[in-house]
Amino acid sequence: MSTLPQHPSEGTGPIRPSAAVARTARALAAAGVGSARVEAELLAAYVLGVPRGRLALADDLGADELVRLDELTRRRAAREPLQYLTGRAGFRHLELSVGPGVFVPRPETELLAGWGVEQAQGRPDPVVVDLCSGSGAIALAVAQELPAARVIAVERSPAALAWLRRNAAERAAAGDRPIEVVEADVTAPDLLAELVGRVDVLLCNPPYVPDDVPVPPEVAGHDPAEAVFGGPDGLVVIRPVIARAAVLLRPGGVVGVEHDDTHGAAVPALLAEDGRFTAVAEHLDLTGRPRYATASRRADGQHAPIGAAWQTDSS
């Protein structure tokens, strides 16, 4: 447990937001939390009920608010995810509800969601499927940005489904086109049987970390293991997802699958070797690491020769 440092003049409140942020940032940095200053500002803004950008103009923190901030700081220093503390996670243009039992959406997944939006644009009444939907981040981002799209989100975890349905209801109440939530295992051979050959864009952020790979304490202690680890090689879920995507996509439909940064060759190879895809490509994240692979269902609906070439693109 981290001990919060106090400046002699701080006392127990009221104190200026800048002073509260400074003491919180020191505690988080001492606990090894990255971006300690940014997270300190976010926690202080959360306690004060103001946007982070308005923090400098906010009123002083009273004694009760300082106690609350210190408790949140202790929990974050113990590596509880920031998003669990605030109950919210930003994703593209959305603020989603998150908490225990659901995978916290990551910024890098915004790239896959953005690619999906671009691919669906211009298609008449596109059908978009989000597999391993979790909080619903990808599905809800697509639905917000493409009101003409029919979006189906698939998730099997009861805990994650509760968050997915909550977020779907919140976004529908905010005026976004409602999405369809399906409780199902994405590896089931009859998944979404009613959509065979009708899907325009299929997106998936599956569990993909190989079982023996160490993960940060925020992940190990809080993100659901079934949403993180993908078997000995990290590809246990990705393989059946690719096979089912080939069945669900209409000719010319596209698939995008996020993967571990060690899978920059493996996932494109799986897509190419399937024989039912063309235009296989690997995409890099903003740090230059392999992050997701994409492909297009052959327009003739047939199999291509095994071993088709694929390319790497930056995103």
Confidence of residue 252 (pLDDT cuts 50, 70, 90): very high
Q: Edge-to-edge strands of the sheet including 180-183?
A: 180-183, 150-155, 127-131, 199-204, 249-258, 290-297, 277-284, 311-314
For residue 168, CA distances in Å to 42, 90, 102, 263, 279 come to: 25, 15, 14, 31, 33
**74-100-3 Cα angle (round to 5):** 5
Q: What is the pLDDT of residues 265-276, one digit of tens each?
A: 999 999 999 999
Model pTM score: 0.88
pLDDT at 207 over 50: yes
| pLDDT attached to residue 279 | 97
Over residues 204-225, the mean pLDDT reads: 91
pLDDT at 39 over 80: yes
Alpha-carbon span 301 to 81, nearest angstrom:
44
Confidence of residue 297 (pLDDT cuts 50, 70, 90): very high
DSSP for 264-279? TTHHHHHHHHHSSEEE
Mean pLDDT across the chain: 91
pLDDT at 309 over 80: no
